[in-house]
Chain A
Amino acid sequence: MTETESQSPGEQEAWTTWDTPSERWLLSGYTRDRRERKILLELAARILFPTVLVFSLYLLFAGHEHTGGGFSGGLVAGQAFVLRYLAGGRMDSSSTVSLQPPVLIGVGLTIATFISLVPLAFGGTVLESAIYTFTVPMLGQIKIVTSLFLDIGVYLLILGVVLDLLRTLGSAIEADVAAVERR
């Protein structure tokens, strides 16, 4: 829906839809039907989406010392996409970044499994973890525990599961409802 189209003269706005946005607020090529658009929701989604994603990354990395971890991080990231879906609709085919949920799930599981087997190559046991500490100028001392990678796998997998949920229960049912209405 382009700008010119929606502002064409002669089109009388109903009072229920006077506040529907006419611009593309979301990065996706697809926007909801005009009746369903809410400017506040779209603005909030636009602003919050990256912020929530960053927060989810913080949770992922902070897990070792503070509250958080791959599981909560993944859920938060997933909920960023939930918000994005609620505001913008359909996630499956037209998102700017095409994330295939099954691929994410698979990648997550692969990373987690692979990481658990890596210690074998160095003569350790499955799932053994190692701690590396090194100093980076400006940032100071940084500690990396190899189990962080397991957490990253969990993060990706949970994100994939949430996206799968959006794809199936979200978009699929939405399409069904739309089909019923059209009939």
Chain B
Amino acid sequence: MLALVVSHLLVALALPWVAARNTRAAFTVAALPPAAALVWTLGHAGAVLGGQEIVESLAWAPRLGLEITFRLDPLALLMTVLVSGIGVLVLLYCPGYFGPGSADGRRSAPLLLAFAGVMLGLVLADDLLLVYVFWELTTICSFLLVGQSGISREQRRSAMQALVVTIFGGLVMLLGFVVLGEAAGTYRISELVADPPGGGAMAAAAVLILIGAFTKSAQLPFHNWLPAAMVAPTPVSAYLHAASMVKAGVFLVARLTPVFAGVVAWPVLTAVFGLLTMIVAGWRALHEYDLKILLAYGTVSQLGFVMVLVGAGTHTGAVAGTAMLLAHGLFKSALFLVVGIVDHEAGSRDIRELSGLGRRLPWLVVIAVPAAASMAGLPPTLGFLGKEAAFEVFLHGGAGQAAIAAGLVLGSVFTVGYSARLLWGAFANKPGIPATAAHAPGAGLLLPAAVPALAGVVLGVVYPAVDELSAAYAAVFEAGTDPYHLALWHGLNLALLCSLIALAGGLVVHAARTPITRVRGRLVNPLNAQRAYERSMALLERVAVGVTGRVQAGSLPTYLGIILLTVLAVSGTALLTRSTPIEQFRAWDRILQVPLAIAILIAVAGVVRARRRLTAVLLVGVIGYGIGGIFIIDGAPDLALTQFLVETLTLVAFVFVLRRLPVRFTQSDPAPGLRWVKMLIAVGGGVFMAFASMIFSSARQTPSGVSEQYIARAEQGAGATNVVNAIIVDFRAFDTIGEISVLAVAATGVASLILTSRHERRRRRGSLPITERSAADESAAPGNAGAAGPIRPGTGEDPQGRDPRQEEVRE
């Protein structure tokens, strides 16, 4: 299984090269790994349904107890068939949709395949943390696929919304995972299912994990990212936002329902939010004019439906949930692909513009009708089986159960309504609208759409196959004396009545669509999820701007003052209260230290008195070299060498920057009192440092054991007679790697800050005639310095000047 997931990702890595040459070939190649996954999974289907489980495990970070564990069980089998099967079909559909050489196609081929890979990993993962990793990877793929080129504002906004909402949910879910994993002592899902932990923490974990599942599966109140994500190309929507990715939340709930069997909140929350989602989104779908948005709301609604079922935690609920999961994946992907064909061939997917397409595209109708029938729950489709089972779940309980059943019937009425609206809107002859012209779609587009539509009917007729799969998953739950089985005919019972009510009601709703829409127009709409999302994002931005404005005052003296005051307040207090005695105080160790110290002190006095910046910088250099001299006297040549080199470089950097600064220090303090404050802080910082260094240096009288070991092992262990070097590149090489990473990031950051300000200026004089501009570029000097701003000195030299010193401190 690991090999399957990895092969997806490897092929995806190589795919951009293929896609740059031939998009059709790229999509065909991309379809191979999912096809392999599908074949492999189906090959093991018999064993898995027979109760066997296939487990693969690989140590990831053994010391942390992390491992990559994949497990193929009935639920994973079902999801793999959906993910890989629909993946193959969508990838084969893509070349016809995108057309040769399209930029979106070139971009989508590797991304879709990578998505198929991480989604496969997600459904097979048996470790909560691994689930989380794949979960976030699917979010990132979705972001890239929705955003596409990112040229239009709508693309960027939708991609961002999908990312923000699902990442938020993902992080909350991670918290839940940690709570759950720590309560149980294991992150393996199979172990959690076998032995569910108890205790109060479980309720918290349940809520946190459900928030994650709700965001991913677009449940109320997070549902709005899904309709917004419909700016993505239709195959992407069909795959990610109908068949697979949005199923992740429902899938996770199905996975963890046995674990949370003892938590009361779990079925209640899934039922309430799922039902609300089903009804509200179904109602919205009844009024949409864009076929794709209609389907998107339909998806949201159906996901709510499945959420109610899989969260119920009963045997029948599990059977119904898995059947609906499979049915929805099949009919929704088929319908999305059909809408994609309509859009592609007729140039529109607006109900108000399309008319008479049914006669022009008869084959498309043949595909769309069974898919829509499955969505509406008509026999003999898989959707009918699922819906019958779903009613059955809640028909034999108390008042609460009956209320849920009533809600489901209402939701199903809407489902039938918008299914009819979809067929009518796409294909019917509408009076008053001229017949839409359309090309005949090729087999490359029709076949991938026909397969899932047909599968929905075939699986409905050969229902024992699906029943075996559903029952295999549902075996975790108590079956009771007479377990429910999927069948086309259960006799005349309440569930059948519910189906009939839903069907009749839906047809009535569709027939009365004009008055209903009018009624909706009059209803006030106090709660709008989209507006709520936008408001909260705006609030977040305002808070960020406010906090940044307060914290980042832009004044170096203020920053320095705050840092020094913090040091004084925190470390200074510790120093005063602990009052470690200064032992063995000596005026000097070697007489040579005295003249050096005097020279340094003179330079220090000079710095304080200096009026010119250059003088001050040079005197600071004198201090630095003086300290280097003291290192030499103390017998630390490595340290001294580094000190000299860094000092030189700092000096050079200072001089570079000083070219852009006034020659003298500015003398205009806003208030005379401020001068005294500054002086006080500076003196306080100095006194603190002096005492601190005396205490620190007297704290250790003998070399530490670590140092002895370093010296003893340098030759043998590190092959170095220079212990300092042995420490840097061997004993503590990990520190070195960390430090050079920091240095690289800091240098790159500073460089880009400075170069960006130049780039901005250059762009602002973009109105220059081309000849002049190219001449200016040749000399690499901006011609118009009117916009030249000062380059802040503090940012420039700091990383260069300071980081090396950390190295010294360590030595």
Which residue in A90, A167, A180 is a CB contact (below 8 Å) of B785?
A: A180
CB distance from B625 to the nearest CB of A (A): 15
**Known contacts A69-B729, A102-B751, A131-B719; is-contact A161 B656 (Cβ 8 Å):** no
A42 at the interface (CB under 8 A from B): no
* A162, CB-defined interface residue at 8 Å: yes
The distance from the CB of B777 to the nearest CB of chain A, in whole angstroms, is 10
Chain B residues 716-753 with CB under 8 Å of chain A are 718-722, 724-726, 728-730, 733-734, 736-737, 740-741, 743-744, 747-748, 750-751
Query: Is A170 in the interface zone, CB < 8 Å from B?
Result: yes
Residue from the list A82, A145, A147, A161 in contact with B747, Cβ < 8 A: A161
Residues 81-117 of chain A: 1 if any B CB is under 8 Å from the residue's CB, otherwise 0? 0100000001011000000011001101100110010
Q: How many A-B residue pairs have CB under 8 A?
A: 183
- Most chain B C-beta atoms within 10 Å of own C-beta, residue among A66, A71, A116, A183: A71
Contact A182 B649 (CB under 8 A): no
CA A41 to CA B785, docked complex, whole Å: 30
B641: A residues at CB distance < 8 A: 67-68, 72
**Is A1 interfacial (CB 8 A cutoff)?**
no
Selected contact of B748 from candidates A92, A102, A112, A153, CB within 8 Å = A102
Contact: B725 with A69, CB < 8 Å?
yes
In the complex, chain B residues whose CB is within 8 Å of the CB of A113: 737
Would you give the 0/1 interface string for B779-795, flagging 1 where the beta carbon is closer than 8 Å to chain A? 01111111010010000
Query: Contact string, A160-183, partner B, CB cutoff 8 A, digits 1/0?
Result: 111011011111111111111011
Q: Is the CB of A64 within 8 A of B725?
A: yes
B736 touches A150 (CB 8 A): yes
Assess the A127–B734 pair: CB atoms within 8 A: yes
Q: How far is the CB of A164 from chain B (nearest CB, A)?
A: 5
Tell me if B28 is interfacial: C-beta within 8 Å of chain A: no
Residues of chain B within 8 A of A57, CB atoms compared: none
Q: Does B188 contact A (CB under 8 A)?
A: no
Whether the pair B788, A93 counts as a contact (CB closer than 8 A) is no
Q: Are A75 and B646 in contact (CB under 8 A)?
A: yes
Q: CB < 8 Å: which of B722, B737, B788 contacts A66? A: B722
Contact: B729 with A65, CB < 8 Å? no
Task: Collect the chain A residues with CB atoms within 8 Å of residue B657's CB.
Answer: 169, 173
CA distance A92 to B758 in the complex (A): 14
A129 to B717, CA, bound (A): 8
Chain A residue contacts of B743, Cβ below 8 A: 157-158, 161
CB within 8 Å for A182 and B728 given contacts A131-B719, A176-B758: no
Q: Which of A79, A157, A175 contacts B648 (CB 8 A)?
A: A79
Which residues of B sit under 8 angstroms from A157, Cβ to Cβ? 740, 743-744
A17 and B649 CA atoms in complex are apart in Å by: 29
- State A72–B796 Cα separation when bound (angstroms): 21
Shortest beta-carbon distance, A112 to chain B, in Å? Answer: 6
Contact B733 A161 (CB under 8 A): no
Distance of A151 Cα from B733 Cα, bound (Å)? 10
Contact B645 A76 (CB under 8 A): yes
Known contacts A76-B645, A127-B733, A150-B733; is A172 also within 8 Å of B758 by CB? yes
Query: Once bound together, how far apart are the Cα atoms of A68 and B781, in whole Å?
Result: 38
With A161-B800, A172-B754, A179-B785 as given contacts, are A71 and B649 in contact (CB-CB < 8 Å)? Answer: no
Are B719's CB and A143's CB within 8 A?
yes
User: Is A154 an interface position by the 8 A CB rule?
Assistant: yes
Q: Among the listed A64, A75, A154, A176, which residue makes an inter-chain contact with B720, where contact means beta carbons less than 8 Å apart? A: A64
Q: Are A162 and B649 in contact (CB under 8 A)?
A: yes
- With a 10 A CB-CB cut-off, give which of A67, A151, A153, A174 has the most chain B CB atoms: A67
Q: In the complex the two chains form, is A179's CB within 8 Å of B781's CB?
A: yes
Number of residues on chain A facing chain B (CB within 8 A): 62
The answer to whether B755 has its CB under 8 Å from any CB of chain A is: yes
A63 at the interface (CB under 8 A from B): yes
A170 and chain B: residue at smallest CB distance: B656
A144 smallest CB distance to B (angstroms): 9
Q: Mark B629-653, 1 if CB is under 8 A from A, else 0.
A: 0000000011001100110110011
Measured in the bound complex, the distance between the Cα atoms of B733 and A154 in whole Å is 11
Q: Which residues of A contact B785 (CB under 8 A)?
A: 176, 179-180, 182-183
- Contact bitstring B608-645, A, C-beta under 8 A = 1, else 0: 00000000000000000000000000000110011001
Most B CB contacts (10 A, CB to CB) among A105, A143, A169 go to: A169
In the assembled complex, how far is the CB of residue A146 from the closest CB belonging to chain B, in whole angstroms? 9
If the complex has contacts A173-B660, A177-B659, are A64 and B645 also in contact, measured as CB distance less than 8 A?
Answer: no
In the complex, the chain A residue whose C-beta lies closest to that of B656 is: A169
Task: Knowing A67-B638, A183-B785, say if A93 contacts B645 (CB, 8 Å).
Answer: no
From the candidates A129, A175, A180, name the one contacting B719 in the complex (CB within 8 A): A129
A165 touches B653 (CB 8 A): yes
If A64-B721, A66-B722 touch, does A179 touch B754 (CB 8 Å cutoff)?
A: no
In the docked arrangement, what's the CA distance between A131 and B750, Å? 38
CB distance from A16 to the nearest CB of B (A): 20
Tell yes or no: B807 within 8 A of A by CB: yes
By the criterion CB–CB under 8 Å, are A71 and B720 in contact? Answer: no
What distance in Å separates the Cβ of B709 from its nearest Cβ neighbour in chain A? 16
Min distance, Cβ A127 to any Cβ of chain B, angstroms: 5
B733 to A147, Cβ gap below 8 A?
A: yes
Whole-angstrom CA separation of A65 from B455 in the bound complex = 74
Min C-beta distance of B480 to chain A, whole Å: 54
Q: Which residues of A contact B786 (CB under 8 A)?
A: 183
B804 interfacial contact with A, CB 8 Å: yes
Kindly state the separation between the CA atoms of A147 and B648 in the bound complex, as whole angstroms: 28
**Which 7 pairs across A and B sit closest by C-beta, in order of nearness?**
A179-B785, A145-B719, A75-B645, A131-B719, A169-B656, A147-B729, A64-B720
Enumerate 15 A-B pairs (CB-CB under 8 Å) in ascending A order: A69-B724, A75-B649, A105-B744, A105-B747, A109-B741, A147-B729, A160-B744, A161-B800, A162-B649, A164-B747, A172-B758, A173-B656, A173-B791, A176-B785, A179-B788
Interface set of A (CB-CB < 8 Å, partner B): 63-72, 75-76, 78-79, 82, 90, 92-93, 101-102, 105-106, 108-109, 112-113, 116, 126-127, 129, 131, 143, 145, 147-148, 150-151, 153-154, 157-158, 160-162, 164-165, 167-180, 182-183
Give me the interface of B with A, judged by CB distance under 8 Å.
637-638, 641-642, 645-646, 648-649, 652-653, 656-657, 659-660, 718-722, 724-726, 728-730, 733-734, 736-737, 740-741, 743-744, 747-748, 750-751, 754-755, 758, 780-786, 788, 791, 796-797, 799-800, 804, 807
- Known A161-B744, A164-B751; further 12 A-B contacts with Cβ < 8 A: A64-B720, A66-B722, A67-B638, A68-B725, A69-B724, A71-B804, A160-B744, A169-B653, A172-B754, A176-B782, A179-B782, A180-B785
